[in-house]
Chains A and B, each alone.
Chain A
Amino acid sequence: MSVIDSVSLPRNFRLPRVDGLVQWIVPLAIVALWQIACVTGLVPTRVLPAPSDVALAGWKLLLSGELIRNIWVSFWRASIGFLIGGSIGFAFGLGNGLSQLSAKLTDTTLQMVRNVPHLALIPLVILWFGIDESAKLFLVALGVFFPIYLNTLHGIRTVDPQLIEMGRIYGMTDSELFRRVIFPGALPSIFVGIRFALGIMWLTLIVAETIAASSGLGYMAMQAREFMLIDVVVLSILIYALLGKLADSASRVLERATLSWHPAFQKN
């Protein structure tokens, strides 16, 4: 037994508080190296401003309220676009996963639309909506739609048929079968779709805001470029990185909460 004990020990050995910090070691080290490179003059500041300068620019924008306003505008656009596109994608995924007729009617069309890069529609969208809010929401919704649609559909189609047969034998009604078997079975795949969609959400929004907007993070970065404020440009890029990380963490938390039955999410 002693051999087995000593082998299995490292697997259980954990330092939970350090665990949370470990992931930040590399980003922090990069920032530190970057600061050193700038201070020593290795990197000219007109190519890349020092992190301290970026932080200072951020502080100034924070005081003026401009930063918060732009972040809020972008965050609002991202969430509303995500909700609209996500719900439509989810609805189509459910419909086409559960009904052969619905799948036959719409799947081919959706697959064709999917292969058009949605950012290629920007000129058309500007013609349709101008540089209004609806243009950005439309693009984000369109970008988010496909990953959620495809993964919901895949999740529902791959639910274990033996479990569905079991549910029928035990007299589940259609709605019960959906609630107890099909939806929980499709959930892991739906979450994969959500995480893909979150990435696409930021990408689409930033591009859309850079090209056609009068507020938001992308707009802030473009304005700063015109005035050669390179520290603000870098600041915007860093904020994208943080927001992306935040969205990913949020979906992970949700995943952990709803998929606690899944062996991959169980502790130990």
Chain B
Amino acid sequence: MQTALRTILPETEFGSRANFAPHARVAREERPTQISGLPLGIRGLRKSYGDNEVLRGIDLHIPSGQFVAIVGKSGCGKSTLLRLIAGLEKSDAGSVSFGDEIQAEDIRVMFQEPRLLPWARVLSNVEVGLGRDRSSTDAHVRAEKALAEVGLADKRDQWPSVLSGGQKQRVALARALVSRPRVLAFDEPLGALDALTRISMQRLLERVWRDQGFTAILVTHDVAEAVALADRVLVIEEGRIAHDVVVNAGRPRERGSAELAGLEGSILNHLLSGDDRT
């Protein structure tokens, strides 16, 4: 019954926008310098699991601060590509390089599941994201700031189990943001959310990306989401980049505009064209 109410009244789920916009502004003013995103260079990347060749040579350059969405059918290798970029798995051949010396805290991943520690309060969960700075004296302050950015400052002392699915995912986003990453990889972060929560989360993702300027890589199966958020959409088919589509629409984007819908249609056609042949 709670979930039902939540779907009907998305604003109770998210707090009104007016509520968290001021926090975001504070965070923006206090940040000393804009940390720029990292450019990403991928050369000849290959990966197989046993006999199954998942990635068959990926070459890709992502300029710093770009928002790239990766779409494709399930099993096409898009998640594997993301895991290789994030360093969660080792490639068989090829390389992933960033333009700069990187630290572990510079790259963060957000998964489809929030993966919050159920035995830690919301604030401590966000502090986990600080990596080696976890024990520093300003850990609390930084975590609180990150929570405010996702509009959940008032939930700091709650257990994760009392939060809704969307709220948990926002805590996970705060945890990923708290170390000011320069590359943020999203592995279908909104896949498990209901339609309205998804749209609010997409807006939130776009806002923090514009505020912080990190390079964003979003793996999704939702083409509409890809064209709504990304500067560039990569279509992966059978372990290769089949199409590289630039989305020129200005921001903030209007959902359901004819331009985006047209783009979405043509990408979907690419994706589905294989099905007709077989």
Which residues of A are in contact with B by a Cβ distance under 8 Å?
4, 162-163, 165-167, 169-172, 180-181, 184-185, 187, 259-263, 266
List 29 contacting pairs A-B, 8 Å CB cutoff, sorted by A. Answer: A162-B111, A162-B113, A162-B115, A165-B115, A166-B111, A166-B115, A169-B86, A169-B108, A169-B109, A170-B131, A170-B175, A171-B104, A171-B132, A180-B117, A180-B120, A181-B117, A184-B117, A184-B119, A184-B120, A185-B119, A260-B159, A261-B119, A261-B120, A261-B161, A262-B161, A263-B161, A266-B159, A266-B161, A266-B162
Q: Is the CB of B115 within 8 A of A163?
A: yes
Residue on B with the closest CB to A172? B128
- Residue B129 at the A interface, CB < 8 A? yes
Residue on A with the closest CB to B128? A170
The interface residues of chain A lying within 8 Å CB-to-CB of B88 are 165, 169
Query: Could you tell me the distance in whole angstroms from the C-beta of B173 to the nearest C-beta in chain A?
Result: 14
- Residue B59 at the A interface, CB < 8 A? no
Q: Is the CB of A261 within 8 A of B159?
A: yes
What are the interface flags for B125-148 relative to A under an 8 Å C-beta threshold, 1 for contact and 0 otherwise? Answer: 000110110000000000000000
Task: Given A4-B1, A181-B117, decide whether A170 and B129 contact each other with a Cβ distance below 8 A.
Answer: yes
The CA-CA distance from A113 to B256 in the complex, in Å, is 68
The interface residues of chain B lying within 8 Å CB-to-CB of A163 are 115, 117
- Residue B222 at the A interface, CB < 8 A? no
The CA-CA distance from A166 to B119 in the complex, in Å, is 15
- Residue B118 at the A interface, CB < 8 A? yes
The CA-CA distance from A163 to B111 in the complex, in Å, is 11
The CA-CA distance from A184 to B162 in the complex, in Å, is 18
The interface residues of chain B lying within 8 Å CB-to-CB of A4 are 1
The interface residues of chain A lying within 8 Å CB-to-CB of B225 are none
The CA-CA distance from A159 to B56 in the complex, in Å, is 34
Query: Could you tell me the distance in whole angstroms from the C-beta of B100 to the nearest C-beta in chain A?
Result: 18
Q: Is the CB of A262 within 8 A of B105?
A: no
The CA-CA distance from A135 to B109 in the complex, in Å, is 56
Q: Is the CB of A171 within 8 A of B117?
A: no
The interface residues of chain A lying within 8 Å CB-to-CB of B132 are 171
The CA-CA distance from A18 to B86 in the complex, in Å, is 56
The interface residues of chain B lying within 8 Å CB-to-CB of A172 are 128
Within 8 A of A (CB), among B238-254: none
16 additional A-B pairs beyond A165-B115, A263-B161, beta carbons within 8 Å, are A162-B113, A163-B115, A169-B109, A170-B175, A171-B104, A171-B105, A171-B131, A172-B128, A180-B128, A184-B117, A184-B119, A187-B119, A261-B118, A261-B120, A261-B160, A261-B161
